Structure 1
Amino acid sequence: MSGQRKNPQARDRTIGAQLKALRQEQTTLNLEAAARAIGWSTATLSRIENGKRHITSEDVAMVLTTYGVPMAQREELIESARTGVQAGWWSRPLPGVLPDVGTLASYEASARAITDWSFSFIPGLLQTERYAAGLMSEDGAEPLEVTMRWRARLQRQRVLPTIDYTAFLHESALQQPFGGVDALREQLSHLVQASTRGLGVRIVRGRVPHRLLLHPWLLLDFPDAPPVLNVELNGSSVFLHDDEVRSYDNMRSMLDGMALSSAESRSMIGQLRERL
């Protein structure tokens, strides 16, 4: 394959799905035969078709030529691959910010809906600067790293007015004073304002099933591709696809049934803020 290896982004999922459809609809090649004709391993083509590997416009051209796709259709898809590469700030990563953050941002920018779940802290898409800085500092981040990571987080938050967003938060997450009590009070005010603006902020109270305690996660739904799940780990994250996402979709339905309504949640957050 040509070019330097990059992390897959949202456009790779869309292009991969299109290439898979072309192989199945316009050729008689199965996955193994197609990979052999292109000169790739079966695993490589499978990962490309499922959006798990970055593909360049040159690679797209080679696949389409192998499949005998008509020139007009070929040029349209190649141009889509070429223009999608520099789609956002994540194509120029900030120093100190993990590459996975750029991958996540590209997914968020293409998503139709995003669902967050967190048991112990406010998710990044809803964080304020002082709260986020306190959280990152407690994790051992140096001041410059905190600044760069916050800048990336602020860029990610710009998608919120354009998508259907819901955050399910356990009540424990509302009581952790990262950055101090004043920072937490400011953060709770921000949650109330976000809810008033129409973002989904819903609180889960009391005991929850064990599987909801394992890790925070973010589920992304797309208009033209299967959902993707981002699982946040200590200092890194992983992306899950296809069948791996199904159990989290079930957990989302569970949370929807357990959580307070947006209005009830907004009232509870306001009361907690007043008690600080």
Structure 2
Amino acid sequence: MPGQRKPPTARDRALGAQLKSVRNKQTTLSLEAAAALLGWSSATMSRTENGKRHISAEDVASVLAVYRVPVTQRDALVRRAKSIDEPGWWSRPLPGVPDELSVLASYEAEARALTDWSITLIPGLLQTYEYAKAYMRDVGVSTEDMEMFWMARLRRQQTLPKVEYTAFIGAAAVRTPFGGWDVLIAQLKHLVEMSKRGIGIRLVPEYTPRAGLYHPWLLLEFPDSSAIAHVELLRGGMFLHDPEVDRYIAQRAKLHKIALTTAESRDILGKLIEQREGRR
């Protein structure tokens, strides 16, 4: 039927959470007061903030106008809403690829900085094809879905030259041979090469006190809007916004203190490669 709204997706959950964060942090409006100013019912406002209705770029512009946010912040959020709707690989769902991954890809394309924390696995943005396939096989991704997952991951990796990226990687990750030792050695060589190109790769030594750093996450920071944290799940993920994201910003500060430098990490990787190749 013409004019019918699209069904809500993960994209709408992310946008709704951001709009709610802006209302709570930058205005004194209650949900009911904000709805009245927009000419919406309280139920519509609640569904919008909870991602239970499709949120158009026009909706975002209207809400932010009522909230009187700075023009640069408003334009950034409206642009984000539009970019997710524009034809791009992430707006055309790939068979077998979770909805949340498409939203994540669109956010990564807009971010000015990305910070990864990975404990037992090389981060997806740095994985080689063989390593990624071995991991996907290990977690039960079907053979027919595997190539689609890799295609999505490879396209996400194209963001790296355009963004400030730092990967904090637990020592266990660079010693866990998904796909066998030859696959791991090739993966470690890739990390060394990426480090030489200016990508921030920093290892976190074993037995280092790291209270609170219990699970992997990706912190995304934007030029004119609040940061988002993405927590990866087995076959998807979830987005966190203010105030939850503040905890991840604090965790990043801790990682900066306990991790090896990029040069030290590259040296460790080189020694691991030499050790494994010497055992062939």
TM-score range, shorter chain: 0.7 to 0.9
Query: Which whole-Å deviations, capped at 9, do the CAs of 1:5-47 have from their partners, x for residues lacking one?
Result: 2222799479949x969x96xxx97531331422352423444
Instruction: Give me the TM-score of the superposition, normalised by structure 2.
Output: 0.81
Distance 1:186 1:44, change over 3 A: same
Q: Does 1:190 align with 2:190?
A: yes
Query: What is the identity percentage for the equivalent residue pairs of Structure 1 and Structure 2?
Result: 44
Paired residues for 1:78-157 under 5 Å: 84-86=84-86, 88-157=88-157
Give 1:262's aligned amino acid. Answer: T
| 2:11 aligned residue | 8
Distance 1:118 1:14, change over 3 A: closer
How far 1:232 sits from its partner (Å)?
1.6
| 1:220 aligned residue | 220
> Alignment RMSD, CA only?
3.3
Q: How many residues align?
A: 260
Check whether the contact 1:90–1:105 (CA below 8 A) recurs between aligned residues. Answer: yes
Give 1:39's aligned amino acid. Answer: S
Give 1:8's aligned amino acid. Answer: R
How far 1:253 sits from its partner (Å)?
0.6
What secondary structure does 1:211 align onto?
coil
How far 1:177 sits from its partner (Å)?
0.7
Instruction: Tell me how far apart the structure 2 counterparts of residues 126 and 161 of structure 1 sit (CA, whole Å).
Output: 12
Paired residues for 1:15-94 under 5 Å: 16=19, 31-36=31-36, 37-41=39-43, 42-47=45-50, 54-57=54-57, 59=59, 84-86=84-86, 88-94=88-94
| 2:212 aligned residue | 211
Check whether the contact 2:217–2:229 (CA below 8 A) recurs between aligned residues. Answer: yes
Instruction: Give me the TM-score of the superposition, normalised by structure 1.
Output: 0.82
Distance 1:31 1:133, change over 3 A: same
Distance 1:16 1:88, change over 3 A: farther
Instruction: Tell me how far apart the structure 1 counterparts of residues 247 and 23 of structure 2 sit (CA, whole Å).
Output: 25
Give 1:220's aligned amino acid. Answer: L
Instruction: Tell me how far apart the structure 2 counterparts of residues 11 and 233 of structure 1 sit (CA, whole Å).
Output: 16
Distance 1:64 1:225, change over 3 A: closer
How far 1:135 sits from its partner (Å)?
0.5
* Structure 1: stretches of 5+ with no match in the other structure: 70-75
How far 1:125 sits from its partner (Å)?
0.3
Q: Does 1:179 align with 2:179?
A: yes
How far 1:159 sits from its partner (Å)?
0.3
Check whether the contact 1:111–1:163 (CA below 8 A) recurs between aligned residues. Answer: yes
Check whether the contact 1:124–1:153 (CA below 8 A) recurs between aligned residues. Answer: yes
Query: Which whole-Å deviations, capped at 9, do the CAs of 1:85-127 have from their partners, x for residues lacking one?
Result: 1152100011011111111111111111000011101010000
How far 1:270 sits from its partner (Å)?
0.9
